[in-house]
Structure 1
């Protein structure tokens, strides 16, 4: 049967250990096997390693930002073929919804089906799966098929084909797509501030640019991050965070999680302005906002949590953005082989890269 290299986390010691896990070759009727090509390291993974999250098992293989190639297809799956390039959606439909019923909103059906696959978390003995993914084969559960003749029959929705490299960014891009849902419709004359130019900030700026928004200001203090954003060639103004007080915006999208920056951005909003908070660095952080200013200027403050039902949109956006915007070098995405995981983790903790991913050889997977 064979085995493959993986990283396993000892949740008590908070240490990663190289290990070997068996390759799963049997493919149940309604499932697929995905050969992992790229797996991203997320901030959540680093938080788990630091002990910021409680894990209910002793050993855990991490992984949720995943793209790869289908290497096995169950007999009931008729909209995927061996060799298809896919991105993995780490979220599932709520248990209260059942396939083939009218209770499922259209957006859920379209997002879940076009997201192609979901991780089968049971093999990890954990309901929480995050960041660093094993090297070779991984079983993934396809979203439920719908009843024959139902208007939402799964075979009527063809998956969006994306390159594996693009696909590993789709989890982050789906979070951006969900945030975008909170601010639309947005007139093209809107003055927009993107606070922070890490990967999410650059993806947000790219999404604005490809849609024709030109009155955009990028706010970043770190020189390396400023250079990465500049290399995208968007033509947007770049300022330091302490210059926010000299500007007025209709929309401020915070990708820093810094409460002080969020507060300054709120003060820089004009009448009818909107502050979208994409991240929070600490549960202890507090904002000091003027109720009078919120009231008289009709200010809106909105939070955007992860990516519920937005993965299908992310796949579409990945195809639209393409090489022009999703260039690894321009975005500051650095890849490592799995054996260099210690260096990869140190880079992920630093400002040397916007994103760190593991890259695996999938050259032996047949193409359709």
Structure 2
């Protein structure tokens, strides 16, 4: 089989030919991958900016869907031929965080156990997965759409944290990559119409325009100028940062209305710093929410995907482009240039 392998030591990504993994653990499932996405985290890993397995080459890819090819003899919830999507994250199930329903804070499992970051993932024709992390797709969700389950599951967790967001409240989304675009879809689907999107890349803004939401789309420069001219109109009840840009986050705090919420969804480099005036947090009673992956939100994500359907989950309108695995360099280049919102490998 083909697999895209990454070496942290050499900072090298290359296409390899490997044997198909064998099901030796009775609780494992062999998934034949259909679609596998490139996440912004993957780009940070390849650049050496995000922690991953430093001791062995691994197959990257933590967003993927496919078909069950084989199951271990103790697997009871799945069978050969089932269409599935896979949650790459898991906890140890023993620590206080896992027992509190917060496996994303687990220091034994979670990130150090993640498929596609610490263990072999979905940038390959086949991948071994624990049964408990494999989710059967409901009718009406295609394998193509299901590749978005992992990012949408993270957003479902973010939505739980910042809720309630009442229809009519003014929302600002910072960044119109795929995550910002998916936030646009979820907000519009749930009835929100008073939404602004700020993105420096005008190509990405035009991609968002194809969703036909009627949202206000503008660059950061336009946002600043409009804010100076009309601070009342350009003040917000909720700001969702999908950019990971410290200067954008700093500015976003000043845009918040009293009682406002700041959702930090984008991943900034670990060494980044922001400056926020504590007096403003006190005076305006600002609430700041960090969003870290997807504890138990895969079922919610599949519910969202099914509900949004083709109206929102159309790859062409989302700016998602499909690539064969051997065109990984081109896929990464186009993603970095911002000419597409997301790249997905079609196996």
**Taking structure 1 as the reference length, what is the TM-score of the superposition?**
0.81
Q: How many angstroms apart in 2 are the aligned matches of 1:272 and 1:119?
A: 33
Does the 8 A contact of 1:179 with 1:278 survive in 2? yes
Does the 8 A contact of 2:264 with 2:289 survive in 1? yes
- Look up the SS of the partner of 1:143 in the other structure: helix
Partner of 1:142 in structure 2? 131
Q: How many angstroms apart in 1 are the aligned matches of 2:339 and 2:3?
A: 25
- Look up the SS of the partner of 1:270 in the other structure: strand
Q: CA deviation at 1:320?
A: 1.1
Q: How many angstroms apart in 2 are the aligned matches of 1:298 and 1:333?
A: 38
Q: CA deviation at 1:104?
A: 6.7
- Look up the SS of the partner of 1:301 in the other structure: strand
Structure 1 counterpart of 2:81, from 77, 80, 83: 83
Partner of 2:335 in structure 1? 348
Partner of 2:284 in structure 1? 297
Partner of 2:239 in structure 1? 252
Structure 2 counterpart of 1:51, from 28, 48, 51: 48
Q: How many angstroms apart in 1 are the aligned matches of 2:120 and 2:203?
A: 27
Partner of 1:22 in structure 2? 19
**Taking structure 2 as the reference length, what is the TM-score of the superposition?**
0.85
Q: CA deviation at 1:81?
A: 3.0
Write the deviation string for residues 253-300 of structure 1: whole angstroms up to 9, x where unpaired.
Answer: 011111222122211111211111112433343333232222222111
Q: How many angstroms apart in 2 are the aligned matches of 1:79 and 1:357?
A: 28
Q: CA deviation at 1:158?
A: 7.0
Q: CA deviation at 1:53?
A: 4.0
1:285 lines up with 2:264 in the alignment: no
Q: How many angstroms apart in 2 are the aligned matches of 1:289 and 1:27?
A: 52
Structure 1 counterpart of 2:312, from 306, 311, 325: 325
Distance 1:46 1:300, change over 3 A: same
> Which residues of 2 match residues 1-368 of structure 1 at below 5 A?
4-24=1-21, 26=23, 28-53=25-50, 55-96=53-94, 103=99, 105=101, 128-129=118-119, 133-134=123-124, 136-143=125-132, 160-161=138-139, 162-242=141-221, 243-244=223-224, 245=227, 246=231, 247-360=234-347
Write the deviation string for residues 287-326 of structure 1: whole angstroms up to 9, x where unpaired.
Answer: 3323222222211112112222222211111111111111
Does the 8 A contact of 2:65 with 2:85 survive in 1? yes
Does the 8 A contact of 1:41 with 1:131 survive in 2? no
Does the 8 A contact of 2:30 with 2:127 survive in 1? yes
Partner of 1:115 in structure 2? none
Q: What stretches of structure 1 of length at least 5 have no aligned partner?
A: 109-117, 146-156, 361-368
Q: What stretches of structure 2 of length at least 5 have no aligned partner?
A: 104-109
The size of the alignment, in residue pairs, is 330
Q: How many angstroms apart in 1 are the aligned matches of 2:290 and 2:246?
A: 13
Q: CA deviation at 1:203?
A: 0.6
- Look up the SS of the partner of 2:31 in the other structure: strand
- Look up the SS of the partner of 2:18 in the other structure: strand
Does the 8 A contact of 2:156 with 2:297 survive in 1? yes
- Look up the SS of the partner of 1:82 in the other structure: coil
- Look up the SS of the partner of 1:292 in the other structure: helix
Distance 1:326 1:27, change over 3 A: farther
Q: How many angstroms apart in 1 are the aligned matches of 2:74 and 2:151?
A: 30
Q: How many angstroms apart in 1 are the aligned matches of 2:66 and 2:306?
A: 16
